[in-house]
Structure 1
């Protein structure tokens, strides 16, 4: 064990533990230097790694549902019998151990062998092409191989870098508290070893659905099944100076590196927009000691998504850390060292970051004749209006059973889970995409979790205290809970997610 590593927690499970030591059906212990979580689920007891394989969240604080444990931080989910990561944002499986009960004690023995991969349906296609190297595209490719799909997989990505953990680009990595080697979703050699042909810096210019052919900047390519996961692109306001070299957006690793380079010698920055991305960027730049001004037209940040009380809290939190807001104002023009406001004032700025939202990349789908309705319209199986072409991620508008309408959501976990479901359906399964939308945002040391989808509400029910950073907010319309946000109420938030799932299932 490394000298700076803390010793494992709890009792030595190899020596046996009293069943009375369980708390809420869980017990953290260890075998050697491995921390292990014992879970009692009904009459059975399982032993599994104690920490989530995504961001190392403590599964002892999670929720056990239907033979699986859900992570309290970002709602990843693991099968208790196999350790498989059955819901993004985690992809790596956890180890599981044999459990023995004798002489009134519970013992953990050796690790269980990983079960064989699930076998794809025998009518699987020979060649699957994925357009887009973001969350949905990567998740689909990874799931195809996890399903023991033996055919060809090609990912066509316009990015310069292999798929990365995009949420980190506005959070820890931008703040300087996470190294760059944490960012790749898989090591560089994963794609070759998994037989995934990842083609970077490749743009798809046309789809011929009848011939099942794509035209790309690198030539033509055929497909048997196609997944469109083209994602979204950041919006630049149509104002003078928006395209100057020191004006940035944040979507890719290259974008993030450019902002970090600008911050090395800068003293002041202006963030345009009080969106989640804009305010996460503001927090990260404050961590680097940059003076940050946020300009936004709304009267309070994120009120449209989180409501007035949470919006006021977010503003106060950022002001505590030195962010200066210019709300109910706009940016009229950007100069070399100055930002002119719509109100007539001006701000000094060494660089500027736009955080005013994104727009889905729909041009390719439109040109191919796919049905478009403020997004690529898909059915409950994520198949588009053209058989054999599926879509996932930021471009998709799908029939959400929770909202009881077609919705489009621009969030990382949603895109990953859609990619996973689309992958299984491209192999011939008929799995409905019915996951409750989930996202998280981080502001300094305060995480905000959100599950559901509420474009409007007539009541916000607050449990706990927003000001004390201990709260659960329910967004209701005509008495029905549409969404729930929370700060440090992880288990309650997981329970809210399960309640939404079961409301639809019933």
Structure 2
């Protein structure tokens, strides 16, 4: 018998509901086949599409903050009035619906025409903006420039072969085989033409002349700019060991890298993952989903202990071992001879695939040659401006003043890069918006998501609320009694509330 689609949840809002049926802050219902979320904010009632446009997260399980609603999964935020995705990782709006009150009942019958995004006003419009980099920050900046009604030229120069993609998916569902490739591009190819974004792929920028205000490509082309955004990102660290250049040895950063691993996985029986990092362990989980035996080799005593601490590190190891992953910790690969990986401990593992996930390093060469201030990253101020006027930096290369930790920090998180790109775009238009967003990332291991809010390079105390082994917990990373970061498993509202509390503490 053919599968039958489940009926939409909740009451039929087109037939109206009594106010007594909507006693709380949110109510999930439907109009026809569309799931619609009623949201009360102050004295107003809004109706919006019920699912986040990023990964379809259920907004009914999210958090209402004034006239915004935040997704429980990856902390995107939508404007209740317009539906606009006002905080990455979501980029597309949710639908908005008309709310009518008649004869003491609340009705939702028809969609409103999608309101135009909120435009802060262009106070200093440059003629041409050049973006170097085709990753999260570069794409988010270009998209936001057009959303802010910027009419000037946008040139995006990317050294990658593919248009901007959803990079987190490359080590998660796409690599596991549960997400088709059409889900991977951030936008279809015709988006760039329609938005008048001059996207140039396979283009390496070799120098910046800040006096003449132009960049030079490896092909010798000179491209002038009025404002320049550096979003060159990071590149995977490659191991300086014999055999690391063989075709079955892979790094994982680009769509091409992920495709190559998938191609190697066909018919493979065993894989070695070097590095018990987020990327390494996500790759391990994805390869296990393809029924490949996986060995993880890492220098660490526990997986991800440096970021998550010992207890959560032990949990992550146990979770992967439950799924058949074999760990070789406090060890390293010293050479790869054909399909034989030799460990420092002396043992050998035969592997059809080797994935190297030992971290990334920021691509700073271009900024250094241009004379920008460098401090373990490109130094920027609160507005993401570099030390040279009209040059901005965002994403993995940017080191910025963090108002919560009171330190300058650089993080390699997808959502941070997108939000910095959006802020840089508005600032290149003269809006003078300080970047105060709280860092956020998520990591997926089989069916277990780990959400992390804030930034704690060091801590002197970790408090645990709940049961880590029961996959229901919230951990606070503290220094001198102050909460710097929060990690959680299936504590979505608490994670959102922690983010909001940190934001309020950061407010100037």
Residues 79-129 of structure 1: per-residue CA shift (max 9 Å, x gap): 000000000000101111111223332111322233334264153001000
- 1:382-461 matches, cutoff 5 A: 382-461=384-463
* Aligned residue in 2 for 1:124: 125
* Aligned residue in 1 for 2:203: 202
Alignment partner of 1:12 is 2:12: yes
How far is the alpha carbon of 1:43 from its aligned partner?
Answer: 1.3
How far is the alpha carbon of 1:276 from its aligned partner?
Answer: 0.3
Give the secondary structure class of the aligned counterpart of 1:191: helix
How far is the alpha carbon of 1:505 from its aligned partner?
Answer: 2.0
In structure 2, C-alpha distance between the alignment counterparts of 1:322 and 1:345, rounded to whole Å: 20
In structure 1, C-alpha distance between the alignment counterparts of 2:247 and 2:22, rounded to whole Å: 58
In structure 2, C-alpha distance between the alignment counterparts of 1:468 and 1:123, rounded to whole Å: 53
Alignment partner of 1:143 is 2:144: yes
- 1:132-281 matches, cutoff 5 A: 132-218=133-219, 219-281=221-283
Normalising by structure 1, we get a TM-score of 0.98
Report how many aligned residue pairs link the two structures.
505
* Aligned residue in 2 for 1:462: 464
How far is the alpha carbon of 1:295 from its aligned partner?
Answer: 0.3
* Aligned residue in 2 for 1:381: 383
Give the secondary structure class of the aligned counterpart of 1:190: helix
Question: Are the equivalent residues in 1 in contact too, given 2:436–2:507 (CA < 8 A)?
Answer: no
In structure 1, C-alpha distance between the alignment counterparts of 2:370 and 2:481, rounded to whole Å: 42
How far is the alpha carbon of 1:46 from its aligned partner?
Answer: 0.6
In structure 2, C-alpha distance between the alignment counterparts of 1:231 and 1:504, rounded to whole Å: 26
Give the secondary structure class of the aligned counterpart of 1:394: helix
In structure 1, C-alpha distance between the alignment counterparts of 2:353 and 2:81, rounded to whole Å: 51
Question: Are the equivalent residues in 1 in contact too, given 2:62–2:70 (CA < 8 A)?
Answer: yes
Unpaired runs of 5+ in structure 1? none
Normalising by structure 2, we get a TM-score of 0.98
In structure 1, C-alpha distance between the alignment counterparts of 2:361 and 2:5, rounded to whole Å: 44
In structure 1, C-alpha distance between the alignment counterparts of 2:412 and 2:4, rounded to whole Å: 39
Alignment partner of 1:307 is 2:345: no
In structure 2, C-alpha distance between the alignment counterparts of 1:107 and 1:63, rounded to whole Å: 23
Question: Are the equivalent residues in 2 in contact too, given 1:119–1:148 (CA < 8 A)?
Answer: no
Question: Are the equivalent residues in 2 in contact too, given 1:268–1:349 (CA < 8 A)?
Answer: yes
In structure 2, C-alpha distance between the alignment counterparts of 1:5 and 1:397, rounded to whole Å: 48
Residues 429-463 of structure 1: per-residue CA shift (max 9 Å, x gap): 10000000000000000000000000111111111
In structure 1, C-alpha distance between the alignment counterparts of 2:57 and 2:4, rounded to whole Å: 19
Residues 112-150 of structure 1: per-residue CA shift (max 9 Å, x gap): 233334264153001000000000000000000000000
* Aligned residue in 2 for 1:352: 354
Question: Are the equivalent residues in 2 in contact too, given 1:293–1:326 (CA < 8 A)?
Answer: yes
In structure 1, C-alpha distance between the alignment counterparts of 2:92 and 2:395, rounded to whole Å: 21
How far is the alpha carbon of 1:337 from its aligned partner?
Answer: 1.1
Question: Are the equivalent residues in 2 in contact too, given 1:399–1:406 (CA < 8 A)?
Answer: yes
Residues 159-183 of structure 1: per-residue CA shift (max 9 Å, x gap): 0000000000000000000100000
In structure 2, C-alpha distance between the alignment counterparts of 1:6 and 1:449, rounded to whole Å: 29
Runs of 4+ residues over 4 Å off in structure 1:
none
* Aligned residue in 1 for 2:73: 73
Residues 173-219 of structure 1: per-residue CA shift (max 9 Å, x gap): 00000100000100110000000000000000000000011110241
Cα 1:206–1:64 change in 2 (3 A) is same
How far is the alpha carbon of 1:482 from its aligned partner?
Answer: 0.3
* Aligned residue in 1 for 2:59: 59
Unpaired runs of 5+ in structure 2? none
* Aligned residue in 2 for 1:26: 26
Residues 331-351 of structure 1: per-residue CA shift (max 9 Å, x gap): 111111101101111111112
Aligned-residue Cα RMSD (Å) equals 1.2
